[in-house]
Structure 1
Amino acid sequence: MDTLSIAAPAARSAGAVAEAREAARGFLGALRPAVGPDAADSVVLVVSELVTNAVRHGGGTYTLRLTTHPDTIEVAVQDTSPELPRMRTPDLDDGTGGFGWHMINDVSLASDVRPGPEGGKTVRVLLPL
């Protein structure tokens, strides 16, 4: 089992999301056996969506954890907001979002949200490798 953990205090910019995607790509690139391109794209998509939500709605402070299991990879993002992700109708006119949770659930095997012991939450997503 391999693990990557990144804590980003007060990351409030698009740069934080790009850094999280690059860290995920680096982690995946170092795995042996190599992760296929489709699986890697799905992991990076989930990382991007979860970190974007943590930056936008979770107070900007987050921890990203990637953990490999025999046939899966777990993406977990912890933030300080108790607000749970929810399905909503995507906004095609004003660009306010609504696509992320749909995409995450489309590519994942499972997802769950757990409240943190001191507030906030951790969103965990399990993806095939």
Structure 2
Amino acid sequence: MCEQHRTEFVLEPSAAERRGRAGPCKPAEARRAVERAVVERCRATDCPCDADALSDALLVASELTTNAILHGGGITDFHVDVVGPGVRVSVSDRSDRLPVVAPPTDRQGRRRVGGHGWPIVCRLARDVRVTDLPSGGKCITAVVPLS
């Protein structure tokens, strides 16, 4: 876990509320949604987009959605919005298990493939929250600075 993660309980949107929103189901779709939100915000405020900050936000979105697919039983909800000087990405999945950092080697001392997603999210985001959902599963929200 990120050293400063937070776990909280919030009300989950009803099925009727979720039906109207079709969110990304794949990392590439999540990246496009994040890019669209950031570019629209830059246009609206007439401020140039920081390419490195946008890249960080895209990577966080990609890692969160990939982890939800690989370890969380699939993506159940996705939200992105630009808040103040950052972009907030929220990904929900079916698993109650909290993210963990995998050791770099297995029991036989062989280097593992993968296992870098959660540390990347924790390194690039200034705020990471893990929220338990009432009907099961969790929502991970990360705020990535845009400047």
**TM-score category (smaller protein):** 0.7 to 0.9
Aligned partner of 1:90 in structure 2 is 104
Contact 1:87/1:102, CA 8 A, preserved across alignment? yes
SS at the partner of 2:23? strand
Structure 2 residue 18 is matched with structure 1 residue 7: no
Counterpart selection for 2:81 from 57, 67, 76: 67
Aligned partner of 1:127 in structure 2 is 144
Aligned partner of 1:58 in structure 2 is 72
TM-score, with structure 2 as normaliser: 0.71
How far apart in 2 are the matches of 1:61 and 1:101?
Answer: 16
Structure 2 residue 124 is matched with structure 1 residue 107: yes
**Residue segments in structure 1 that go unaligned for 5+ positions in a row:** none
Aligned length, in residue pairs: 118
- Superposed CA RMSD in Å reads 1.9
Aligned partner of 1:80 in structure 2 is 94
Distance 1:104 1:115, change over 3 A: same
Work out which structure has the larger RCO, using CA pairs closer than 8 Å and 6 or more positions apart in sequence. Answer: 2
Q: After TM superposition, which residue ranges in structure 1, 4 or more long, deviate above 6 angstroms?
A: none
Structure 2 residue 40 is matched with structure 1 residue 30: yes
Contact 2:35/2:54, CA 8 A, preserved across alignment? yes
Structure with max Cα Rg: 2
Distance 1:98 1:90, change over 3 A: farther
Deviations 1:54-102 (A, max 9, x none): 111111233221121111221111111111111222357342x210111
**Cα distance, 1:49 vs structure 2:** 0.2
